[in-house]
A and B are shown apart, each in its own frame.
Chain A
Amino acid sequence: MRSYSSLLSYIALGVLAVIASKTGILNAYVQIVLMFIGINVILSTSLNLVNGYMGEFSVGHAGFMAVGAYITSVLNVMLFTQSSLFGPPLLNPSSALFLFPVTLLIGGIGAALAGLLVAIPSFRTRGDYLAIITLAVNYIVKSSVENIQVIGGARGFMGMRNVINSMQDIINIPWALVWVIICVGATVWIIYRFVNSTYGKGIVAVRDDEIAAEIMSVNTQRMKMVAFMLSSGLAGIAGGLFAHVLGYINPGTFTIMKSTEVLVMVYLGGMGSLSGSVLSAILFTIILEAFRPLQVAKWVVVPLLLILLMLFRPEGIMGHRELTDIFPRLRRWFGAKEERG
Chain B
Amino acid sequence: MALLEVKEVTHFFGGLRAVYNLNLSLENGELVGLIGPNGAGKTTMFNLVSGFYRPTEGEIRFNGKDISGLRPHQVTSLGIARTFQNIRLWNSLSVFDNLCISQHHLLGYGFLQSVLRTPKFRSSERRVKKTAEEMLRMLGLSHYALEFPKNLPYGLQRRVEIGRALSLRPKLLLLDEPAAGMNPGEVDELIDLIRWIRDEFKLTVLLIEHHMRVVMNICERIKVVDFGETIADGSPEQIRQNRRVIQAYLGEEEPVNA
Interface residues of A, Cβ cutoff 8 Å to B: 189-190, 193-194, 197-202, 204-205, 207-209, 211-221, 226, 230, 272, 320, 339-341
Given A198-B103, A198-B107, A212-B84, A217:B125 Cβ within 8 A: no
Are A201's CB and B100's CB within 8 A? yes
Flag if B93 contacts A193 (CB, 8 Å): no
Q: Distance (Å) between the CB of B41 and the closest chain A CB? A: 18
A200→B115 CA distance, assembly (Å):
10
Residues of A within 8 A of B52 (CB): 211, 214-215
CB proximity to A under 8 Å, residues B26-57: 50-52
Q: Is the CB of A198 within 8 A of B92?
A: no
Also in contact, A209 and B90, with CB within 8 A (given A193-B117, A197-B125, A198-B107): yes
Q: How far is the CA of A212 from the CA of B105 in the complex (A)?
A: 14
Contacts A198-B104, A216-B102, A341-B96 given; does A193 touch B115 at CB 8 Å:
yes
Closest chain A residue, CB of each to CB of B164: A216
In the complex, chain A residues whose CB is within 8 Å of the CB of B129: 198, 339-341
Q: Is B111 a contact partner of A230 (Cβ separation < 8 A)?
A: yes
Contact with A along B108-124 (1 / 0, CB 8 A): 01110011010001000
For A208, A220, A230, A339, which residue has the most chain B Cβ atoms within 10 angstroms? Answer: A208
Q: B90–A205 contact, CB under 8 A?
A: yes
CB neighbours of A218 from chain B (8 A): 73, 101-102, 104
Q: Which residues of A contact B137 (CB under 8 A)?
A: none
Q: Once bound together, how far apart are the Cα atoms of A341 and B132, in whole Å?
A: 10
Whole-angstrom CA separation of A83 from B102 in the bound complex: 55
Contacts A212-B84, A215-B50 given: A205-B133 contact, CB under 8 Å?
A: no
Residues of B within 8 A of A339 (CB): 125, 129
Residues of chain B in range 64-114 having any CB-CB distance to chain A below 8 Å: 71-73, 76-77, 81-82, 84, 88-94, 96-97, 100-107, 109-111, 114
Chain B residues in 8 Å Cβ range of A211: 52, 88
What are 23 A-B residue pairs whose CB atoms fall within 8 Å in the complex? A194-B111, A197-B114, A197-B121, A197-B125, A198-B107, A201-B100, A201-B101, A204-B92, A208-B92, A213-B90, A214-B72, A215-B50, A215-B51, A215-B82, A216-B76, A216-B104, A217-B105, A217-B168, A218-B102, A320-B92, A340-B96, A340-B133, A341-B132
- Are A199's CB and B94's CB within 8 A? no
B19 at the interface (CB under 8 A from A): no
Which chain B positions have C-beta within 8 A of A199? 104, 107, 109-111, 114
Instruction: Report the Cα distance A341→B100, complex, angstroms.
Output: 9
**Inside 8 A of B132's CB, which chain A residues have their CB?**
341
User: Taking the nearest CB of chain A, how far is it from the CB of B219, in angstroms?
Assistant: 23
Closest to B81 in A: A216
Q: Which residue of B lies closest to A200 (CB)?
A: B114
A-B pairs under 8 A by CB, number: 113
The interface residues of chain A, by DSSP majority, are classed as helix
B73 touches A193 (CB 8 A): no
Interface string of B157-169 (1 = CB under 8 A from A): 0000000110010
Closest B-chain residue to A226, C-beta based?
Answer: B111
Contact A205 B101, beta carbon cutoff 8 Å? yes
Cβ 8 A contact of B114, one of A194, A219, A220: A194
Cα(A189)–Cα(B117), bound, Å: 12
**A208 near B91 (CB under 8 angstroms)?**
yes
B138 contacts the other chain (Cβ, under 8 Å)?
Answer: no
Contacts known (A193-B114, A213-B90, A215-B52); A198 close to B72, Cβ less than 8 A? no
Additional pairs, 12, CB under 8 Å, beyond known A199-B109, A212-B84? A194-B115, A198-B104, A201-B100, A201-B101, A205-B93, A208-B90, A212-B89, A214-B73, A215-B82, A217-B73, A219-B104, A340-B133
B145, A340: Cβ atoms closer than 8 Å: yes
CA distance A341 to B144 in the complex (A): 11
CA separation between A341 and B147, bound complex, in Å? Answer: 9
B167-221: which have CB < 8 Å to A? Answer: 168
Write the nearest CB–CB distance from A232 to chain B, whole angstroms. 14
The answer to the question of B245 belonging to the interface, with a C-beta cut-off of 8 Å to chain A, is no
A residues less than 8 Å from B96 (CB atoms): 340-341
A198 touching B125 in the complex, CB below 8 Å, given contacts A211-B52, A212-B90, A215-B52:
yes
Closest to A219 in B: B73
Within the complex, the shortest CB–CB distance from B167 to chain A, in Å, comes to: 9
A215 pairs with B72, CB closer than 8 A: yes
Q: Are A204's CB and B90's CB within 8 A?
A: yes
| B84 pairs with A207, CB closer than 8 A | no
- A215 and B73 within 8 A (CB): yes
A204 neighbours in B (Cβ, 8 Å): 90, 92-93
Specify the chain B residue showing the minimal Cβ separation from A209.
Answer: B88
Query: Chain A residues with Cβ under 8 A from B222's Cβ?
Result: none
| C-alpha spacing A207/B90, complex, angstroms | 8
**CB of B135 within 8 Å of the partner chain:** no
CA distance A98 to B102 in the complex (A): 43
A221 to B71, CA, bound (A): 10
What is the distance, in angstroms, from A20's C-beta to the closest C-beta of chain B? 30
Give min CB distance, A234 to chain B, whole Å: 12
With A198-B125, A341-B100, A341-B146 as contacts: A217 and B109 at CB distance below 8 Å: no
Closest to B116 in A: A193
**Residues on A with beta carbons closer than 8 Å to the beta carbon of B91:** 208-209
